[in-house]
Amino acid sequence: MNKTLYIDNFTFWTENDTEKLPDVSFIPAMLRRRMNAVEKIAIALAARVAPESADYTVVFASRFGEWNQTIKLVRQFYEDKEMSPAGFSNSVHNAAMGHLSLLTHNKNSYTSIAGGHKTIETALLTALVSDKPVLFVYAEEKNPEEYNHLFKKPVASHGCALFIDKSGKNAYELAPNNQDLPALSFEKLQESMQNNTEIQTSNWKLTKK
| Predicted pLDDT at 31 | 84
**What are the pLDDT digits (tens) for 111-127?**
999 999 999 999 999 99
* pLDDT score of 184 more than 90: yes
* pLDDT score of 200 more than 60: yes
| Predicted pLDDT at 111 | 94
Number of other CB atoms surrounding residue 19 within 10 Å: 11
Taking the whole predicted model, whether its pTM rises above 0.75 is answered as: yes
| Predicted pLDDT at 189 | 98
Higher pLDDT, residue 25 or 78 = 25
Average model confidence (pLDDT) across the chain: 89
Mean pLDDT calculated for residue range 52-72: 86
CATH code for the part of the protein at 3-171 = 3.40.47.10
| Predicted pLDDT at 52 | 87
Query: Do residues 123 and 117 touch, judged by C-beta distance below 8 A?
Result: no
**What are the pLDDT digits (tens) for 7-49?**
999 999 999 989 999 999 999 998 888 888 999 999 999 999 9
User: Which positions ≥6 away from 195 have C-beta within 8 Å?
Assistant: none
